[in-house]
Structure 1
Amino acid sequence: MPSSRLTPCLLLPLLTVLSGCISHPPATSSNALARPASATQDGAIPAPRPGAPIRATSPATVGTPARVASPAPRTDCHKARYIALTFDDGPGPLTAGILDALKAAKAHATFFVMGPRVQAHPAIMRRARELGMEIGNHSWTHADLARMGQAPATRELTRTSNAIRRASGQGPFSVRPPYGSFVQATPHTGLPFVLWDVDTEDWKNHSSAVTTQRALAGAHPGAIILMHDIHPSTARALPGLLKALQGRGYTLVTVPELLGPMSAKKA
């Protein structure tokens, strides 16, 4: 597995919305802001609706804590060739196999998880931690936080953070808001937001070949690649994708290994 002593890539120290190396801005999309997930009973998870990563107009003013520059030596992303694979919407029945593939490839990844699924699969969360994976908060119901009031949004995130802590012994390092959607008033519960800059669209194509092609086409040093550990096609694609990325000289790391320390304490 990648060494825990990896130095983070060189980034602006006051970047508050994190989405890969600053030399590669997030991909833009003409898609409108995704509609919020419909209200459900407590614990129910509506099917996630796809949405493009929506950046705030002025990221520096978003109410997320600024990342503190690391005292460790800085590493140029282009020279280090680090990439962070991220998986949303789990854990689920396929996550164990994804962990197996990552372990076999001596790779790290980051999982942005949903509260009810964490409660249903605590052993998977513990194993992910043991293998050196990182865990982030992806809300409780996959609702659009930008369209929620502060109180319900805070409950979404806090409840999920508590579930992660109970299952794995440690709270999440960050939040990935569903659909990448948030506004200045969106609560962050003391955690920075992490987006992505390569979307495999595995939620839409359900094709191992297409998922692999999109990941490889978008790969660049410092990339944060978005996938989902709830789709069989993604699980099937992963072993070959790992081999292909490593064959291109990439080291597969967690988001904190890529971006470095963040100022917020784990919630």
Structure 2
Amino acid sequence: MSRQLTSLLTIAAACVTLASVPAQAAATKPAEKPAPVDCSQVKCIALTFDDGPGKYAGTLLSTLKKYDAKATFFLEGQYAKSRPQYVKRMVAEGHELGNHSYSHPDFTKLEPGAIRNEIQKTQDAVKKAAGVEPKLLRPPYGLADLQVSDIADEFGMPIILWTGGSEDWASKNVEAIKKKTLEVAKPNGIILMHDWVKQTVDAMPSIVKSLQAKGYHLVTVSDVIKGEGLEAGDVFPLPAGWEN
């Protein structure tokens, strides 16, 4: 995929029952790792949460765990530093972490050194909290230009935007968030949400159950983009009107 960017991008953007197994054997048998989801064969969607970990992240993680759903969290370094317990839990429970800057500035208005600093400080904060480094970048506000793309390339990360947004930050209404999320949901979609919005976290049990009832597997962004052949610095998905 080409990453020729010629102008500023703006995106405002089951339960398996084991029969006839002795209790002792079942208790001592190691848990089997679930087979990876193939999104070319099944209906997938990736819920993504920006700006966190927010103070409601623990409740959100409990909901996702209850329904065996995975998500991708694009973290701000400042909150990864102040709430490391959530970052560690995200990794332990099989979720994916992305880099969303340290303090959420508009990258297109920064000098190269400042952009690198924002990204690196977040990489460092996440690694300190959970022992891993994000492999995906989502610039604040979804804003990128050629310079941002080049710096993402330096860090070995593609730029991940979204196919639809919940508009949770604007409505802050449980029913509106659910309605909008289901409206923009589509196979291999990437949905923008925020875990600092309490109404989003409150709506999540209903949203997850509704999506699963429609046949969706809730997976990570990397599951969704596996077949796209993205390289570092590439932007995905490109907004309407852009050519690959």
The interval holding the TM-score normalised by the smaller chain is 0.7 to 0.9
TM-score, scaled to structure 2: 0.77
Note the alpha carbon deviations across 1:76-117, whole angstroms, 9 max, x for none: 3xx521000000011022000000000000000000000110
**Letter paired with 1:239:** P
User: 1:176 and 1:135 mapped to 2: Cα distance?
Assistant: 11
Change beyond 3 A, Cα 1:168–1:217: same
Indicate yes or no: 2:208 matched with 1:209.
no
Change beyond 3 A, Cα 1:244–1:15: farther
Checking the alignment, whether the CA contact within 8 Å between 1:16 and 1:193 is kept in structure 2 is no
Report which of the two structures shows the higher radius of gyration computed on alpha carbons.
2
Flag structure 2 segments of 5+ consecutive residues without an equivalent.
14-35, 233-244
User: 1:192 and 1:148 mapped to 2: Cα distance?
Assistant: 19
Offset at residue 235 of structure 1 (A): 0.6
Equivalences for residues 125-136 of structure 1 within 5 A: 125-136=87-98
Alignment partner, residue 87 of structure 1: 49
Change beyond 3 A, Cα 1:87–1:16: farther
User: 2:38 and 2:62 mapped to 1: Cα distance?
Assistant: 31
Offset at residue 135 of structure 1 (A): 0.3
Note the alpha carbon deviations across 1:104-149, whole angstroms, 9 max, x for none: 0000000000011001111111111011000000001110101111
Offset at residue 33 of structure 1 (A): 7.9
Alignment partner, residue 147 of structure 2: 185
User: 2:178 and 2:164 mapped to 1: Cα distance?
Assistant: 12
Equivalences for residues 48-197 of structure 1 within 5 A: 52-53=12-13, 75-76=39-40, 80-186=42-148, 187-188=151-152, 189-197=155-163
Indicate yes or no: 2:199 matched with 1:233.
yes
User: 1:130 and 1:74 mapped to 2: Cα distance?
Assistant: 22
TM-score, scaled to structure 1: 0.71
Aligned-partner SS, 1:89: strand
Aligned residues: 201
Change beyond 3 A, Cα 1:73–1:16: farther
Aligned-partner SS, 2:146: coil
Offset at residue 225 of structure 1 (A): 0.4
Checking the alignment, whether the CA contact within 8 Å between 2:39 and 2:224 is kept in structure 1 is no
User: 1:111 and 1:221 mapped to 2: Cα distance?
Assistant: 19
Offset at residue 194 of structure 1 (A): 0.4
Which of the two has greater helix per residue? 2
Q: Aligned-residue CA RMSD in angstroms?
A: 2.2
